[in-house]
Amino acid sequence: MALGIRLRVGAVFETFSPGPNSELLAAVRSPNTQPLWIWGARASGKTHLLQAAAVAIKQNSAYFPLDRRVSLPPEALKGFAGLQVLCVDDVDAVAGDLSWETVLFRLFNEAAELGTRLIFAARAAPQQLQWSLEDWKSRAAACVVYQLRDLDDSARSEALRLRAAQRGLEMPPETLDYLMKRMPRDLPTLLELLDQLDEASLVAQRRLTIPFIRDALDRHPKFKTPLSTTP
């Protein structure tokens, strides 16, 4: 794990519900060293996949986000090409920045020489981004590109069930259905809510039943999340 950046709890392959992305998941888990480029909307699961890929290799991998909120300089990415797997997230955040693109170009070449598997993630395909460095543009376009498609309600429900199982919780279908009908449908919000409900259930020494969830949502301010518009 690079630079003290903490990986998300539960960001492993076993808790990723692929839905229509089974081919993409198989490509990420493949031992093939060909570089991958995963693109999709915010909160579609890109970071989960990249962190899961890093976790799967354990000590010989790194996860590196380029989100400007992390405030890392381009030089911070140097020296990682010797790993087995390097996952670079939020690549679109540095599109048009010549300094960053130069470092990415060099990283790509070094990784090819050393056999490092590169997995990039962004909100757009490489051909759709406005790059400044033509050499990097050509390298990015050489990646195998996959779009991470949004999950339907069934796949979101399965993702919740998998997260619950990882935490040692059993989520009956009626409990999952209750949450899906009453809470926002974006998966990060649902997963965060599940984690908070789990902590509350441990404190109260109660199971995650519908009455307990209803009580938690009504009584605890931190659970005051807008209800879903779905009836």
Domain coordinates in residue numbering, the chain: 2-147, 153-223
Q: How confident is the model at residue 227 (pLDDT cuts 50, 70, 90)?
A: very low
To which CATH superfamily is domain 2-147 assigned? P-loop containing nucleotide triphosphate hydrolases (3.40.50.300)
- Number of neighbouring beta carbons within 10 Å of residue 164: 21
* Range name among 140-144, 148-152, 203-207, 221-225 with the lowest pLDDT average: 221-225
Fold for the domain defined by 153-223? Helicase, Ruva Protein; domain 3 (1.10.8)
Quickly state the pLDDT bin for 146 (edges 50, 70, 90): very high
Q: Which residues contact 230 (CB under 8 A, 6 or more apart)?
A: 180, 181, 185
Rounded alpha-carbon distances, angstroms, from residue 68 to 7, 77, 165, 185: 17, 14, 34, 27
Q: Is 180's pLDDT higher than 70?
A: yes
Q: Give the residue with greater pLDDT, 221 vs 20.
A: 20
Which has more pLDDT, 100 or 214? 100
- Percent over 90 (pLDDT), the chain: 42
Note the pLDDT of residue 103. 95
Q: Span 111-121, mean pLDDT?
A: 95
pLDDT tens string 79-105 = 888 899 999 999 999 999 999 999 999
Q: What is the mean pLDDT of the chain?
A: 84
Q: Report long-range pairs for 173-180 (Cβ below 8 Å, ≥24 apart).
A: 174/210, 175/208, 175/209, 175/210, 175/213, 178/210, 178/213, 178/214, 179/213, 180/153, 180/156, 180/228, 180/230
Gap between the Cα atoms of 150 and 139, Å rounded: 27
- What pLDDT is attached to residue 225? 47
Give residue 168's pLDDT.
76
Give the model's pLDDT for residue 228: 41
Mean pLDDT over 169-174 rounds to 79
